[in-house]
Amino acid sequence: MTKIVGLTGGIGSGKTTIAKHFELLGVPIYIADEHARQLMQSKAILEALKQTFGTSIFEAEQLHRPSLAAIVFQNPAKLQQLNAIVHPAVQHHFQHWLLSYTTYPYVIYEAAILFESGNYQNCHSIICVTAPLESRIERVIERDHTTRALVEKRIAAQWTDAQRISKSDFVIENLDLELAKENVEKIHKILMIKQNDL
């Protein structure tokens, strides 16, 4: 049976970069946030978003993600409502995706809110990616062309590194690229050896 290895970390920690190192080793990767963005364009989810958050999150009939983010990252209850709409769809999609990789020893399920969503319970093993807070903030500001205040709100809405680490089997500090790659290779070898009893 193919094992599911969760890969998580705070926003800006470099989870996707680490996931791509695993991909280079031949491991199938499911990036939950990327698929969530695609699924949020479906008619059913767009209608649910409109019913829940109103028309202010749309511009010219298109979902305006910054407007939605501004609402949910200032209100934990609204964030829960968003997750309740999107995450079941992502899980359904992932289960179908997984059917294409049943011959692999393990796959990586990469998700920012692996613990917050409860999806960690479906994983056989968990890897946590960490990075210094200031580095994470700078990365997200540059990547998303956003403000420091909004990034800090998003970080505050997530678990802390300490919380994530306490429930993880492996930790990769994503500060030095070469060292991070070495850690990926070490973890990959361990996972391949222990695939029968993960």
- For the annotated binding site, the residues are 12-17
Q: Residue 129 has what DSSP assignment?
A: E
Sign of the Cα torsion 11, 75, 82, 163 reads positive
C-alpha closest to that of 93 among 21, 162, 163, 45:
45
**DSSP per-residue string spanning 19-45:** HHHHHHTT--EEEHHHHHHHHTTSHHH
Q: Tell me the three state secondary structure of residue 172.
A: strand
Q: Tell me the three state secondary structure of residue 7.
A: strand
**DSSP per-residue string spanning 97-109:** HHGGGTTSSEEEE
Going from the C-alpha of 150 to that of each of 34, 74, 111, 117, 183, the distances in angstroms are 20, 9, 20, 21, 31
Residues counted in the chain: 198
Number of H helices, E strands in the chain: 9, 7
Residues at the binding site for ATP are 12-17
